[in-house]
Structure formats: structure tokens, C-alpha cells
Amino acid sequence: MPKRKFPTSYLSEQAIDRNLPEQLEDTAINHNEIYHPYYRNFGIFQDLGNIGTPGRSQFFSFNRPNDFVLGFNPYQVFYKRAEDTKYYKTKLPYTDFNYTQGQKELLLLAAKFSYNFSPRLNLGVDYNRVTSEGFYPRQYTSLYFTKIFGSYHSKNNRYTLLGNIIWNRGILDESGGIRSDSLFETLKGANKAVPVHLSNSQSRFRNSVIYAKQYFYLGKMQAQIKDDDTSYRMSKAGFIAHTFKSEKDNFYFDNPEGDTSSLLFPSNSSIDSSGIFYDSISSYSIMNRLSYAYWTKSNERQQSYIEFAISHKYIEVQQLEERRNFHNVWTEAKMERIPKNDYNIGLKLAGNYCFTGYNQNDFNIQGELLFATKKFNISGAFNNQLFTPDYTQVHYRSAPFSWNNNFSKINVTHWRASLQTKAFRHNLFISLNQYLIANWVYNGTQVSPEQSNKILVINTLEASKTFQASIAYFEHRIWVQQANLDLVRLPTFGGFARYYLSGKIFKKVLEIQVGAEAFYNTAFNGNAYHPSARVFYLQNNTQIGNYPMLDFFVTGKVMTAIIYAKYEHANMDWMRTGFYNTPHYPLPVRVFRLGLRLRLYN
């Protein structure tokens, strides 16, 4: 009898909630050389010119959490999150080791290990390390992200436990940007260096999370007879679940030797420009959520899921000589019809409401309709969210800034229509979005938050398509967007192209890709960054963009090992302008990278 295979698979919390089947781990060679989280997740973005620095997407996509938000987190893309955890089922230990090295002491290490101590108990560690000296003065970054995770399923299938312990922390030097763009743009080569605004300031962040979710399944016990033995196993019909989450967030800005640059102290009557200061803001929250979910009997066409929940979150915020606390109480409801075959309809409805606390009377109502055929999927979605502005937009106390605002709630209405083909070798995806926003809050030219009394309308289009001619592949992804008000600054067009040759050589032992990739967005007055307030704010003096970033790469895969070499920013010095993702923070120079990814799995 041939030996049975047990391929590595995993479940997410979302899949467990909906009683969906396990997914196989993706082991494809594509995009492994795109190691930078901003390029991988956003495509077009702002950062401060080095990996690990504050950043944000330049494509408008509103996905704000429903609950309390302390403020804009410029490091969020690097964070480990409990909600993203994959809980593995693997016969042998699963290992995923990813390492990138390059000039200026860049080190990017990602390591994941997961082991099933029994068919019902899985434990693992997910660790990321990012550090780089950068290419210009005072760009040093050092970040650590660690997650310990596990899952347990009882023998009779009546109980499941998911658990996560997470630490996210980092430190980086703040330069405040270069003093003279014109001087910088006259320089050539990889040793560009010009004076910066800040000489001693640093930013730090720390985040820790304890997360646990228990499922108590509902249904009938069914006898499992094998030879002379009889055991009983639950036939699941739904669950009652309890979720616990404890989270601490700390952000610091240190000015130990009294940088008094006007960058830190713009003209504003609320600013103390005395020099030396240490700013911090922290939040602590404890959340308990109780939910009940019911699954309808699934068949070959569809599966349905209904959930009701109530949650309580205690929130405490502390900053300079100020402490506040709140009790948020939310109710939630969801209903989903999940299609399992072609020529079917999928439906999602969800809503929540906050009864008391900082977010009192906030709500979110959303729905999505999917029409699936053999050749394409068409979907439409609607979302209306009313929410209290972020805490630091309303209350903020620091040495440079202090404000207490009485802002109205923000209302966002979002419409989406999407098309995804299924009949082609390389399918097309296109998504049209419109956002109608009342009472939008933004950081104005004086850094402090402002609220608009006009209706903001933002339209976006996102599309992706790959073409193939024999061993030649042409990947494309584009973004088009427009806002009717100048208080949201966006590049009108952005694009990503990846052209490469792909095939197998050496008796098909080595899979190889050789090609180039380019990122581009049109020119616009991109937001400036304020290091003390940790925000991107409006500025009217400098345009950024209209500058392609061109990289060349070669990637090879042998069995489960992937090795790649990459020549980044190959077009440096071809153009003199647009050399920035954020005003006064130049792009990285031309550089060579090497990377290795090694995966061991069933």
C-alpha cells in the first residue's frame, strides 16, 4: 500500500468561524524578491526613504476598524496581528525561513516554525527582524516583531482554543528630512549626503497583545465505530465563543539634546519651543467578546453562517499629565451565504452599534452581493460607517503640540463594484470604488487636525492582469483615483509592471525567473511628515512622484529553496527630479540585494 501523504494545511480564525475547509500553504516562486512590506502590500506609498520608517499607502482604501482607534500608526504594516494568524496542521514540523541582506547593513529576517505535538495541538513562533543603516544621515532603523501562537481541538470536537502572544517594538533615528533638495539633486552616485534637520531625535514604539478565543461547539454527538471500539464525535451546528484581548500601545519621541529645528516647532501659539523634551502617549485596553453562531446545513451549492455578538472594551489612554478611560459596549450581527459552485449567489450582511464609551453611537452597516458563474464573478458592496475621530485627533498633549477638539462624527459611505474572470489562464481583476465622506478630519498645513464641513468625494479604480507569450510573462497592476477636495492629496495614477521570463532548466530541477519590475505614480503635492506628532500633513510647496523605480531580478527555486538576487533602483541618476516618496526624504540609492527563502513542510 502506498504511503499516505499529509500536505501542510492551515486554518485562519475567519475560516474556523465559518466552518470552512483547510487551505494548502502557497509555495509559488512569484514575488519572493519583493521583500519590502510597503511595495508588497501597497505598491504606491509614502515612507521616509528606508525600510522600517513610518509610511502609508498612497492608494485610498478606507478600512478603518469599527472600535476605538488611538491614532494613526505609521508602523502598522510591519505589525504582527492575532487576527492574521495561520493555525497549521502538519505531519512534520513546518519551517519558513526568509532572509534578505544587502548594503548599508540591511537585514530582513522572517522565520516561522510550527509543530503539531499531537493531531489536536499545534504550537508555533513567527518572528521578524528589520534593521538598516539607511543611505543618508540619521536613517537607522531597528525593529522586532514576535508572535507565539497555538491551537487546540478536543478529541470529541466540542471545544477549540486559539491563542496568541505578540510583541511589536522598534526604534529609529529621526532626521526630519534633508535641508536642501536642490543641493541633493546636483549630486550623483551612491554616496549622496546633505545636511538634515534633526541631529539627535529618536522615535520608539512598543506594542504587546495577549489574545485568546474559545469555541464551545453546538450539535449532536455521533458514534464513530472502528473494529470493536466506539468513540463519539461532535457533528457541529454552530458555536458559542468567548474572545479575550489585552493590548498595550506605547509611542515615544525623544529629543534629548534639544533639537530646536522649525520643523519640530512650526509657528503655532500652542507650541513650547524650549528644546529638550521626552514625549510619550500610551493606551491600554481589555476586550471581552461573547458570540453565538449558527451554521445552516451545507450542501453542494452553498453554506450559510449567522453570528450575533456583544463585546465590552475597557480603554485607558495616558499622555503628558493627562489620563482618560472609557468603556465601549458593542453589539454585532452577521449573516453570510457562501457559494460552493458556479452559477450561484453569495450574500454578506453585517452591522454593529456602540451603546456607550468613547465611540458611543458609532455604527457600521455593510452588505455585499456576489454573482458567480463558470467564467467570472461579479460583486457589489455597500458600506456606511459613522465613527468618532481618532483619539489623538481630538485630544493631544505633548511638548510641541496641545489641542482639544470638538469634532463631529465622521460619516463614510462606500460603494464598490468588482469583476473577476475565471476562464482565462491569467485572469483579470477590476474594482471600482466611490467614497462619500462628511466631516472628514485631516492634518492641515500647521500639523494640527482640522475638520471639513464639505462633502468629500473620492473615486478609485484598481485593476490587474497578466499576459503570457510562451515563457514571457507581463504582469500589470494599475491604480486610478481622484478627490473633489484638495484636503486629500493623491496621485491620480499609479502602476506596477513586472516583466520576466520563467521556465525550468537543468532537467527541470531548477525553476527560474529573470526580469524587471517598475513602480510609478504621477506627480502631486504629497503630504509632509512630522516626526513628533507621527502624522502626514498637508504641504503646498513640494511635488513628489513622476519618477519610476526600476529593479532587475533573478530568482531560482530548487525543491523548497528559493534564492534571489536583485538590483534595486537601477535607473538612479537618469532623472533629477521626483526623487522622493515623501517631501525632503530621498529614495534609496542604487543597491544590490541577495535573498534566501527555505521552507520545510509535508
For 271-401, where are the E strands, in sequence order?
Answer: 277-295, 302-319, 322-339, 344-356, 363-372, 376-387, 395-397
Chain centre distance of CA 285: 21
Could you tell me if residue 87 is inside a domain?
yes
Q: How far apart are CA 545 and CA 519, in angstroms?
A: 11
Binned at pLDDT 50, 70 and 90, residue 26 comes out as: confident
Summarize pLDDT for 377-412 with one digit per residue, the tens.
Answer: 999 999 999 999 999 999 999 888 889 999 999 999
Say which amino acid occupies 214: Q
Cα dihedral 208→537→57→414 (10° resolution): 100
Say which amino acid occupies 568: E
Q: What pLDDT, on a 0 to 100 scale, did the predictor assign at position 184?
A: 86
Could you tell me if residue 325 is inside a domain?
yes
Cα dihedral 484→488→491→494 (10° resolution): -100
User: Mean pLDDT throughout 58-86?
Assistant: 94
β-strands 86-89, 344-356 pairing: unpaired
Q: Indicate if the pLDDT at residue 4 is higher than 60.
A: no
More confident residue, 128 or 235: 128
Q: Indicate if the pLDDT at residue 330 is higher than 50.
A: yes
Q: What pLDDT, on a 0 to 100 scale, did the predictor assign at position 225?
A: 66
- For residue 555, CA distances in Å to 97, 230, 468, 470, 563 come to 16, 53, 18, 18, 6
Domain span at 80: 9-195+202-600
Could you tell me if residue 4 is inside a domain?
no
Q: How far apart are CA 453 and CA 439, in angstroms?
A: 6
Chain centre distance of CA 463: 19
More confident residue, 451 or 230: 451
Q: What pLDDT, on a 0 to 100 scale, did the predictor assign at position 478?
A: 97
Summarize pLDDT for 260-300 with one digit per residue, the tens.
Answer: 777 777 655 455 556 677 889 999 999 999 999 999 876 67
Q: What pLDDT, on a 0 to 100 scale, did the predictor assign at position 296?
A: 82
Summarize pLDDT for 344-380 with one digit per residue, the tens.
Answer: 999 999 999 999 999 999 999 999 999 998 899 999 9
Given a contact cutoff of 8 angstroms between Cβ atoms, the answer to whether 194 and 180 are in contact is yes
Q: How far apart are CA 388 and CA 124, in angstroms?
A: 37
Given a contact cutoff of 8 angstroms between Cβ atoms, the answer to whether 455 and 438 are in contact is yes
Q: Indicate if the pLDDT at residue 418 is higher than 50.
A: yes
**Spatial CA neighbour of 529 closest among 40, 67, 174, 168:** 174
Residue 262: CB atoms within 10 Å: 10
Could you tell me if residue 3 is inside a domain?
no
Q: What pLDDT, on a 0 to 100 scale, did the predictor assign at position 308?
A: 98
- N-term to C-term CA, the chain: 19
Q: DSSP states of 410-462 as a string? A: EEEEEEEEEEEE-SSSS--EEEEEEEEEES-EEE-TTSSEEE--S-EEEEEEE
Decide: residue 451, CB within 10 A, 0-12 exposed, 13-18 middle, 19+ buried.
middle
Q: How many helices (H) and strands (E) does the chain have?
A: 4, 35
Q: How far apart are CA 167 and CA 146, in angstroms?
A: 5
Q: Indicate if the pLDDT at residue 548 is higher than 90.
A: yes
Residue 541: CB atoms within 10 Å: 8
Could you tell me if residue 240 is inside a domain?
yes
Share of the chain above pLDDT 90, in %: 71
Q: What pLDDT, on a 0 to 100 scale, did the predictor assign at position 221?
A: 74
**Three-state secondary structure of 349-366:** EEEEEEEECCCCCCEEEE
Q: Indicate if the pLDDT at residue 128 is higher than 60.
A: yes
Binned at pLDDT 50, 70 and 90, residue 1 comes out as: very low
Q: Which three cell numbers stand for residue 595?
A: 535573498
Q: How far apart are CA 439 and CA 248, in angstroms?
A: 29
Cα dihedral 579→584→587→588 (10° resolution): 140
Q: How far apart are CA 54 and CA 249, in angstroms?
A: 16
Radius of gyration of the chain (CA): 26
Given a contact cutoff of 8 angstroms between Cβ atoms, the answer to whether 437 and 257 are in contact is no
Residue 599: CB atoms within 10 Å: 17
Given a contact cutoff of 8 angstroms between Cβ atoms, the answer to whether 58 and 580 are in contact is no
Q: Which three cell numbers stand for residue 568?
A: 534595486
Q: Indicate if the pLDDT at residue 222 is higher than 80.
A: no
- For residue 452, CA distances in Å to 311, 394, 408, 436, 442 come to 32, 14, 10, 13, 8
- What region does 375 belong to: left with phi over 0, alpha with psi -120 to 50, or beta? alpha
Lowest mean pLDDT among 46-55, 302-311, 322-331, 577-586: 577-586
CATH number, domain of 168, equals 2.40.170.20
Could you tell me if residue 119 is inside a domain?
yes
3-state secondary structure of 597: strand
Could you tell me if residue 2 is inside a domain?
no
Q: What pLDDT, on a 0 to 100 scale, did the predictor assign at position 121?
A: 95
Q: Indicate if the pLDDT at residue 257 is higher than 50.
A: yes
User: Mean pLDDT throughout 512-539?
Assistant: 95
Could you tell me if residue 548 is inside a domain?
yes
Q: How far apart are CA 131 and CA 99, in angstroms?
A: 12
Q: What pLDDT, on a 0 to 100 scale, did the predictor assign at position 224?
A: 64
Binned at pLDDT 50, 70 and 90, residue 3 comes out as: low
Summarize pLDDT for 459-515 with one digit per residue, the tens.
Answer: 999 999 999 999 999 999 999 999 999 999 999 999 999 999 999 888 888 999 999
3-state secondary structure of 47: coil
Lowest mean pLDDT among 174-178, 186-190, 341-345, 465-469: 186-190
Task: Please give the tally of structural domains in the chain.
Answer: 1
Q: Which three cell numbers stand for residue 302?
A: 452553498
Q: Indicate if the pLDDT at residue 232 is higher than 70.
A: no
Q: What pLDDT, on a 0 to 100 scale, did the predictor assign at position 247?
A: 98
Say which amino acid occupies 96: D
Q: How many residues does the chain have?
A: 602
Residue 284: CB atoms within 10 Å: 16
Q: What pLDDT, on a 0 to 100 scale, did the predictor assign at position 309?
A: 98
User: Mean pLDDT throughout 411-438?
Assistant: 94
Summarize pLDDT for 443-461 with one digit per residue, the tens.
Answer: 999 999 999 999 999 999 9
HSE-up (13 A, CA, CB side) for residue 165: 4
